[in-house]
Structure formats: C-alpha cells, structure tokens
Amino acid sequence: MKHALKLILFISATLGSIGINAQTKVQTTDSGFVLMRNGSPYYVKGVGGEVNFDKMISIGANSFRTWGVENAQKVLDEAQKRGLTVMLGLWLQHERHGFDYNNKDKVKSQLDYFKNVIKQFKDHPALLMWGVGNELDLDYTNPNCWNAVQDIAQYIHQIDPNHPTSTVTAGLDSLEVQYIKSRCPDIDIYSINTYGNIAGVPQNIARFGWSGPYMITEWGPNGHWESPQTNWGVSIEQTSTEKTASYLTRYKEYIAPNQSHCLGSYAFLWGAKQEYTETWYGLFSKDNLPTEPIDALEFVFTGNWPKKPAPSVMAMQIDGKDAFKSINLKAGEKFPASIKILLPDSLSNEHVDFVWRIFEESTDKKSGGDVEAEATELTGLIVKGSNKSEVVFRAPLQAGSYRIFVTVIHNGKVAYANIPFKVIAREVGEKQSRFIQLKYTDMKEFEK
C-alpha cells in the first residue's frame, strides 16, 4: 500500500510539473488585467515563429506564436519539452485571397475544420491561448469575417474553459475595434500587429473603445510600407543596428510600461523570410545565424546583454554616398562600396567575415506576409575585396533597380545592411553592344 501511495504521489507530482491540464485565465485587477497561468501571473515574453526553440530559451523568451496549425502537434510537443507556451494560430481565410464571407457553406466548412482542430489540441499542456485569425482586416471590405471569428471563439469557450481567445488585426483602427467589440463578444484579448506605429497603441486602444486586455503580436523594425523611399520608389531598409535600436526602444517605451493592460508581446520574425528583401524582418539569417537585433531581445527579456554580442553597423556607402542619396550608377562601370563596423570585443577586423552580394530589386512584393519569390542574385560583379570591409563592384549591365547587401559575421552572429541603387544605361556604342551580349558571363573578355 505504501508503494502504491508513493507511486500515486510521484505520478501526480510529475503530471503537475509538466503542466497537464494547464490553465490560462485573464484576471481582472484593480489597475487592469493580468494573465494567469496555473494560478501564477504570466507575462508573455514571446517571439513569432516555430524554429530554434533552444535559442528562445537562451534569450529569456517564454512563449512563441504560430499562424497556422500545420505543425501544431510537433511544435506544441517541442514547446512542452522546454517549458515554453504557444499562442496557437488558427489561420482563417482572407477576403484578399478570394474567400467569400457571405458564402455560408464555405464559412461553415471552415468552422467545422477548426472545431476538430480545437478538440485535438485544447488539452495540450503547452497551449497558452488561441489566435483566431490573423489580419483579416487587411485589404478587406466585408465585416462578416468577424462573425466567423465569433463563431470559432464561441465554440472555444464552450469546450475549452482553460484558454483565452484572441484575434489579430493589422495595426490598430477604431473601426475594427468597434466591429470586434460588437460582433465578437467571445474574444478575450485584442491582439495587434504593429511596427512603426507602435507608439500610438497604448494611447489609442482605449480611446478607440477597447477597455479589455491586449497584446502586441507582431513588432520589430519599421515596416517596408512606412519606410523612406528612393526617388524611384523602393523602400530603404534599416541596418541591423538601427533595427536593434528599434526593438530595444519599442519594448522599453511602448510594451513593458503598459503591463496593466498589455499582457505581453511576440517579436517578429523568429526565423528567416523573403518579405520585400531577404533580411527585412527575419531575426535569423538565411543560413540560420542569429542577427544583431536578437541581442536587444535578450536584454529586454532578461535584463542582461549577451556575453558575446553581435557586431554593429556604423555606416554603409556606395561611392561615398548612403542609401538616402538615391544612388544612380552607370551600367558596367566600377564603384567602391564600404561598410564601417564596430566590434564588441576588438578594434581590428580579425575573425570577421564580410559577405557582399548584389540582387535585382524584388519584383514579387506582396502584402500581409504572403509568400514572395526570392530576388535574383547576380554573381561575378564583386571584382575586388569580396571578404573585406571595402570592395569594388561593377554595376550590372541592364538598366534597372538593384541592391547591394553586406553581411558581417563575428562571434557566430550577423550584422547587415543594404543599399538600393539604380543603374542607368550607357550610351549605345560598340563596347556597350559587346557588354550586353556577354550578360555577366565573361568580365575578362569585356576588359580587353
């Protein structure tokens, strides 16, 4: 009997320690709201993405967000192994992709699908909350999408009393606040994806009529749609160092001070992705190396800077000009490019790698994070100093819009910058004709 009792106690303790029947609740306080996890306050220090779980732990994150459920079982299990929680996204179809929220049969089919998903995962111990739809308001005209959100949220409340519901909007707009208030009474937490406009969220959300708790479910650098542009209309990307400052400032000024109503956040994007450029939003390089802004997340999540920080970018130029000069280059001619960096542990460039690449400007630019084709890389144009802080490159032969990228690798971390430039056609002549015929294939032949 003693052995049986010990076994029961051991099983109970084990199940409790791994979070079986974990419960998340929104609790009202005298000053606002607090998220409670198994009876204790739980402030979300999260990232958006379902990769590099151990790195999440090392920088002090306690949660991550998904947008869909394609890998839900795997990512929930991985989260549970590490003591992380998951805001599980239910990807509702978008009007901009052709979905008709007036079509009752399609709406019902979508609801039925998510009913099965909710049943499957509602008792997983790593589940923190449900994200019912993401940016359904982006480029939409039919507010009936919010009725569909309500149907799913209502079903969640019927069968899952242990996890709150949320829906996510693209930025913060008073009209969407009113729609969600009136049409989605079963939404517990209002979630906002916001970038350069994050400063307005704390003061506007109550003014627009939302008196409940909220979260910032995407945030980070300036969005490409809100950034300065060249005079030919392409956006200028922040350097990794400028983005690091954005992550640091935006968390300290607009997220952390508002914990009475803001229950936490998910930084974007925990991974790598082509979106406007291949570096604009990803917190990891294409080769899965951590980038400089992750250092800022580690500081705001833990209060400590990493012992081995990333390098920093002080300036990048083409022919002595920065990205804001709307640089025009003549086709086929040579130009210098340089980057000035600051190393955290040395004044020399020892053990530093510089990778320079030239791309055509992406022509597959979309909205809302939709999948984009990678931009075309042009090889053979870096003619001097390919692994140095100063290089010489040849402008492409064809007139058009391009970017030169530089990646700086030190301490196993990445800093980066890029400059867009425009190529102007050369005057027509014999050398130009031969140049066009070669099409980047044999620069030595062209030099003859």
Query: Which among 272, 302, 332 is the end of a domain?
Result: 302
Residue type for 444, please?
K
Same domain membership, residue 418 and residue 296: no
Is residue 196 in a domain? yes
Per-residue pLDDT of the chain (448 residues; tens, 9 = 90+): 444 434 333 333 333 334 466 999 999 999 999 999 999 999 999 999 999 999 999 999 999 999 999 999 999 999 999 999 999 999 999 999 999 999 999 999 999 999 999 999 999 999 999 999 999 999 999 999 999 999 999 999 999 999 999 999 999 999 999 999 999 999 999 999 999 999 999 999 999 999 999 999 999 999 999 999 999 999 999 999 999 999 999 999 999 999 999 999 999 999 999 999 999 999 999 999 999 999 999 999 999 999 999 999 999 999 999 999 999 999 999 999 999 999 987 655 568 999 999 999 999 998 888 899 999 999 999 999 888 999 999 999 999 999 999 999 998 999 999 999 999 998 765 454 444 444 444 444 434 3
DSSP string for 146-170? HHHHHHHHHHHHHH-TTS-EEEEEE
Give the single-character DSSP code of 253. I
Same domain membership, residue 174 and residue 271: yes
| Of 223, 210, 148, 147, residue with least CA distance to 173 | 210
Query: Which among 242, 271, 302 is the end of a domain?
Result: 302
Query: Which among 251, 276, 302 is the end of a domain?
Result: 302
Same domain membership, residue 25 and residue 165: yes
Looking at the structure of the chain, the number of domains it has is 2
Same domain membership, residue 347 and residue 199: no
Same domain membership, residue 329 and residue 293: no
Same domain membership, residue 177 and residue 53: yes
Same domain membership, residue 365 and residue 254: no
Same domain membership, residue 270 and residue 199: yes
pLDDT for position 430: 40
DSSP string for 102-131? T-HHHHHHHHHHHHHHHHHHTT-TTEEEEE
Is residue 420 in a domain? yes
Contacts of 276 (CB under 8 A, 6+ apart): 224, 235, 237, 362, 365, 372
Is residue 15 in a domain? no
Same domain membership, residue 192 and residue 83: yes
Is residue 12 in a domain? no
> Residue 364's domain is classified under what CATH number?
2.60.40.1220
d(CA 34, CA 41): 6
pLDDT for position 346: 60
Contacts of 415 (CB under 8 A, 6+ apart): 239, 240, 241, 291, 292, 310, 311, 312, 313, 341, 407, 408
Q: What Cα–Cα distance (Å) separates residue 364 from each residue in 156, 187, 371?
A: 37, 35, 9
| Of 308, 324, 321, 301, residue with least CA distance to 255 | 301
Domain that holds residue 259: 21-302
Same domain membership, residue 205 and residue 270: yes
Is residue 166 in a domain? yes
Is residue 400 in a domain? yes
Same domain membership, residue 378 and residue 267: no
d(CA 252, CA 255): 6
